[in-house]
Amino acid sequence: MPTTGTLYLVPNLLGVAAPTDVLPARTIAIAQRLNHFVVETPKVARAFLKTLSPERVIGDVAMVPCDPEAAAIAQCAAWLKAGIDVGVVSDAGCPGMADPGALFVTRAHQIGATVVPLVGPSSVLLGLMASGFDGQHFTFHGYLPSKPAERDLAVRQLERQLAATGATQVFIETPYRNAIMLEALARVLAAGTQLCVAQNLASAEQRIARAAAGQWSPALRAPFTDKAPTLFLLGRTPA
């Protein structure tokens, strides 16, 4: 019976940083030897792989974008069935965490391929650690609605969930809407609701701040740019 390849979930960097400062040696070594990848954005993936192996000829690497998903899943499965190891890389952080990955993992399991999640930065876990909020009870919501009225309603719902359960409420935003989201949170949340914002985690440009919503003045919001991956957390210190 033919041996299937292994599907490796390769964490990407969360910001500008030397890979050796963020990724374990094993993760780097496996990513360096893989020649077949399913990626969220080819340009971003090529840049990431180049930081791992500056001497590597990226044009020799077989790479398919996750979109369209059906075609990417079929190609990934074909590689695995042929005994080829495949890496999954998202634009930032861990594949499958608010990024493509879950469908490829599901298909790998269906065909009996081994799935190996590699160690690397996860903005959700790092943000929880840095917030001081309850890290045992939390909900990750991914992206909130982009339309203002729907976004504000979603924020109020998260605030109610926090009040009812105490569980930390975690979400992200498209980088170019960071400033808009921060303004909305300062306006919509009750003044005493605790908000933590974590940007460019595990990088030289990391910024983390926590304050009551009523204290998130324009001056406090200003350092958080519109060009960087950012995590937003509503929570309270665990009893």
Residue 45, domain member (yes or no): yes
If one counts every other C-beta atom within 10 angstroms of the C-beta of residue 38, the result is: 27
pLDDT at 217: 92
Question: pTM of the prediction?
Answer: 0.89
How many helices (H) and strands (E) the chain has is answered by 9, 10
Residue-wise pLDDT for 183-213, tens only, equals 999 999 999 999 999 999 998 889 999 999 9
pLDDT surpassing 60 at residue 1: no
Q: Give the end of a domain, one of 61, 91, 117.
A: 117
Cα separation, 19 vs 25, in Å, equals 9
On whether both 108 and 179 belong to a single domain, the answer is no
Whole-number pLDDT of residue 85: 98
Structure tokens at 137: 């009870």
Q: Is the dihedral of CA 124, 128, 134, 135 positive or negative?
A: positive
Q: Which of 113 and 100 is assigned the larger pLDDT?
A: 113
CATH number at residue 75: 3.40.1010.10
Calpha distance 75→61 (Å, rounded)? 14
Question: To 5 degrees, how large is the angle CA 99–CA 101–CA 102?
Answer: 105
Dist. CA 18–CA 33, nearest whole Å: 19
pLDDT single digits (tens) 34-65: 999 999 999 999 999 999 999 999 989 999 99
Please report, as a single letter, which amino acid is at residue 7.
L
Alpha carbon distance 97, 142 (integer Å): 8
CATH code of the domain in which 174 resides: 3.30.950.10
pLDDT tier, 15 (very low <50, low <70, confident <90, very high otherwise): confident
Predicted confidence (pLDDT) at residue 113 exceeds the cutoff of 70? yes
pLDDT at residue 2, as a whole number:
62
**What was the pLDDT predicted at 29?**
97
Question: In total, how many domains does the chain have?
Answer: 2
User: End-to-end alpha-carbon separation of the chain, Å?
Assistant: 55
Please indicate, yes or no, whether residues 227 and 128 belong to a single structural domain of this protein: yes
145 and 219 within one domain: yes
Say yes or no: 69 and 29 in one domain. Answer: yes
Same domain for 21 and 105, yes or no, is yes
Structural domain that includes position 230: 123-235
Residues 57 and 100 in one domain: yes
**What is the largest distance, in Å, between two alpha-carbon atoms of the chain?**
64
Helix-, strand-, coil-residue percentages of the chain, each rounded to 5:
40, 20, 35
Whether omega for the bond prior to residue 68 falls within 30 degrees of 0, making it cis, is yes
Give yes or no: residues 108 and 135 share one domain.
no
**Mean model confidence pLDDT for the chain:** 94
Which segments of the chain are extended strands (E)?
Answer: 6-10, 36-39, 62-65, 86-89, 114-117, 138-143, 168-173, 194-199, 207-212, 230-235
| Closest CA relative to residue 79, chosen from 9, 3, 1 | 3
Residue 1 lies in a domain: no
Residue at 28 is within a domain: yes
Q: Which of 70, 98, 117 is the last residue of a domain?
A: 117
Q: What is the pLDDT of residues 60-88, one digit of tens each?
A: 999 999 999 999 999 999 999 999 999 99
The fraction of the chain above a pLDDT of 90, given in percent, is: 85
Boundary-marking domain end, from 117, 151, 172: 117
